[in-house]
Structure 1
Amino acid sequence: MEVVLAKDSHNSSRPPSTDPPWAKRTKSLRRPSGRRPGGQAGHRGSTLRLAAHPSRVVEHRPREYRRCHARLADCQVVRHLRQQIWEVVPAHLKVTEHQIALIRCPACGKTTQGEFSGAVRSRVQYGPGVKARVLYLQQYQLLPYHRTSEAMRDLFGCHLSAGTVANIVR
């Protein structure tokens, strides 16, 4: 009987709500440091660094001087103050069409044709980039097939069925 009464949420599978009100609560072993939470004075913060070679540069040039209203169109720039915005480029599908040329031989009049490379195997297929993203979402991020399909549609505009996702994973 004492064994049963001695059980609580810490030494059995009982939920904490079943513990009696007089039961001892575990206390944190952490001692207060006396400092306020958050960044501390004198701590050097970290932030993004300016990219040495940005993808695009937009120059904001003043048209006239604010005080005397002199035109500045032909004046030389002394220096630039730089600020950058880092943004994800919208992804979209790129479709590459492969065509076999049919050419008539001028000597015998018969038609001959070129050959597709080894990467082109069917009339319409997904490339290695699509397959890699499907595998990343499904295997690494552990998304179910239908959620992988939704993510591919939402992120890349690539409408895959859950069955196609399953075939890619196999």
Structure 2
Amino acid sequence: MDNSKSLEQFARDAYSDGEEAVVELVVSPALKLKEEKHRRSQNSTNSSFPSSGDLASKKKNNSRKETDRKSGGQPGHKGCTLNQVPNPDTTVKCSPESCECGHTFDGSEEFIDSIRRQVFDIPKPVVTVAEYVSEKYRCPVCGEIHAGDFPAGVTASAQYGNNIQASVVSMMNYQLLPYKRTAEMFENLFSIGISEGTLRNI
């Protein structure tokens, strides 16, 4: 095929040469593409090609540049090692109960030494309910009745607080959790049954 000719010129030449030339012009490239695709799909399991060719066809170039740095943390990198704290929230003393000789320890014995181990954990999430009561009083001077104002944002008889609403927004907009999984998470962690409709309105 002469590459100097345009596609339009090839089509005109084929048209002038007759029906068979037009068919050849259209079908030939499609057949070549099909043969090339078939050739690329061949391997040792579906053809007579040796298995060594399978590895060559699957091998990919590693675009990662080689450096002299070793794998793992680099010099100067600030680690996140868990260390003990001087003032833990709770301390549980593990004292020996008895000796092989039959003596039972009661704390009056000579103290020798102790070993400290600390466990960092998150307390079980607990939902707290704050109740606001608007009290009404009658003025003793004029007799007019006055009611206390609810805090700003407290507008319903029962509603979710700012922390729960902020958690919903974070999980759905930042963590990208769908409505159903967000509702399931609140049920599992906090025993709060939030409907998907409520989540859409927060």
TM-score (norm 1): 0.69
1:60-96 alpha-carbon deviations (Å, 9 max, x no partner): 1224555573745224644431112232211121110
Is 1:80 equivalent to 2:114 in the alignment?
yes
- In structure 2, what is the equivalent of residue 129 of structure 1? 163
- In structure 1, what is the equivalent of residue 77 of structure 2? none
Structure 2 counterpart of 1:153, from 164, 179, 187: 187
Where relative contact order (Cα < 8 A, 6+ residues apart) is larger, the structure is 1
Deviation, structure 1 residue 150 = 1.0
Is 1:139 equivalent to 2:162 in the alignment?
no
TM-score (norm 2): 0.60
Deviation, structure 1 residue 51 = 3.1
CA distance in 2, matches of 1:130, 1:83: 34
Number of aligned residues: 148
1:108-133 alpha-carbon deviations (Å, 9 max, x no partner): 33321111121312222111111111
**Which has the larger share of helix?**
2
Cα root mean square deviation, aligned = 3.2
1:36-58 alpha-carbon deviations (Å, 9 max, x no partner): xxxxxxxxxx8532233322111
Uncovered stretches (5+) of structure 2, i.e. residues with no partner = 1-30, 63-79
Based on CA coordinates, which of the two structures has the bigger radius of gyration? 2
CA distance in 2, matches of 1:72, 1:29: 71
Deviation, structure 1 residue 98 = 0.7
Call closer, same or farther: CA 1:77–1:114 in 2, change over 3 Å: farther
* Runs ≥4 residues deviating over 6 A: none
Deviation, structure 1 residue 167 = 0.9
- In structure 2, what is the equivalent of residue 90 of structure 1? 124
Identity value in percent: 28
SS at match of 1:108: coil
Call closer, same or farther: CA 1:108–1:67 in 2, change over 3 Å: same
CA distance in 2, matches of 1:49, 1:141: 29
SS at match of 2:141: coil
**What letter corresponds to residue 93 of structure 1 in structure 2?**
V
CA distance in 1, matches of 2:137, 2:123: 41
